[in-house]
Amino acid sequence: MVKLDLWKFDWFFMIAALAIAALGLPFLKSSATAADFNRQLVWFAISIFAMLFFIAVDFMIWIKYAYWIYAGTVLFLVLVLFLPPINNARSFIRFGPIGMQPSELFKLALIVALARHLGKRDDQRRPRGLIIPFILTLAPLFLILRQPDLGTALTIPPILLAMLWASGARFPHLAATILLGLASAWPLWRYIMRPYQKARILAFLNPENYETAEAYQMLMSLAAIGSGGFMGHGLGNGVITDLDLLPEKHNDFIFGVIAEEGGLAAAGSLILLYLILVLVGLHIAATAGSKFGRLAATGVAASIGWQATLNIFVVTGMFPTTGVTLPLVSYGGSSLLVTFSMIGMALNVSQSGTQTRFGEGASLRV
């Protein structure tokens, strides 16, 4: 445990995160069933306790045991592939009535594993120094694609790139990496993507040919956003959402509900809060008292910022439809729990500084 230093504690970061969740709750209530909303409230309470737990426990404890945490999460990613499918995907492990997505847990495990590896090395400016970080990231990524969970898989590479950049990797090497990633699009399309995933991309390119099938969700989302105007129709009064014309309106497409019922005022406020959260997270990284802290906070800011951006791009028709939750807002316990845990870790970095149990030069062997 660490002693809470209220003067160093970054209240803006926590307030921004709680404000995002609070802004989303009324729209979640108007779009979800009563049972789902009550279940989300339980997850919300659990996630707040998780955030407080990560605030209280020295984040360097997680760095010390990072490889064990990483290995355990990868084991879950393997295990889930042998479980019965749910909605044509093997993404959940159930513990009685509780379901958990190992792919969500992996994002947190990857952040601490990369922070430990990159925090103890200084060879990231050379290509060979990028090999281990890429193995740590890409090997489990293929397990996630096997579920299949393309949406979560798309949220992971930016975490790696942001943390490599924060560790001192050279821009030409990162740019070459991005180009290689783009070059992998063809084998991904040819050998890995499922027919329905390909259809979503084709629908994005030619929505008029798929308006009653794969493009329907995107078109209904755009109709909901367009009808909201500046102030929206009010909670529960959205035409598209009230008639249940927008699939997954309480989950991946809840931003469409916010735009229709709360208008540009609510949707714009939400985007502004995400921007504040990411900028304050990067400030925490820039002022961290250790390299481990800087890397961990960068990973948290990149994860939340990119996932929110990707979700909003999908809902507004700027990216092909894929299953990505809106952090802190969408229905889903795993995403909420992991996101609040990340926030707690970043808050621990903000208030502990160099007052950690293990200094940068200390041994991290377990």
State the pLDDT at residue 1: 58
Phi, psi of 320 (to 5 degrees): -55, 150
217: confidence class by pLDDT, cuts 50, 70, 90: confident
Q: Is residue 354 scored above 50 in pLDDT?
A: no
Find out whether 228 and 209 touch, Cβ atoms under 8 Å: no
Mean pLDDT computed over 37-48: 95
Which residue range forms the structural domain that includes residue 112?
A: 11-352
Cis amide leading into 148 (omega within 30): yes
364: confidence class by pLDDT, cuts 50, 70, 90: low
At how many degrees (to 10) do helices 254-286 and 291-315 cross? 160
pTM: 0.91
DSSP 7: T
> Domain total for the chain?
1
Question: 311 lies in a domain?
Answer: yes
At how many degrees (to 10) do helices 131-145 and 66-79 cross? 30
Q: Is residue 3 scored above 80 in pLDDT?
A: no
Mean pLDDT computed over 81-97: 79
Question: 5 lies in a domain?
Answer: no
pLDDT tens digits along 230-272: 999 999 888 888 878 888 899 999 999 999 999 999 999 999 9
Integer Cα distance of 334 and 351 in angstroms: 26
The rounded mean pLDDT for the chain is 88
360: confidence class by pLDDT, cuts 50, 70, 90: very low
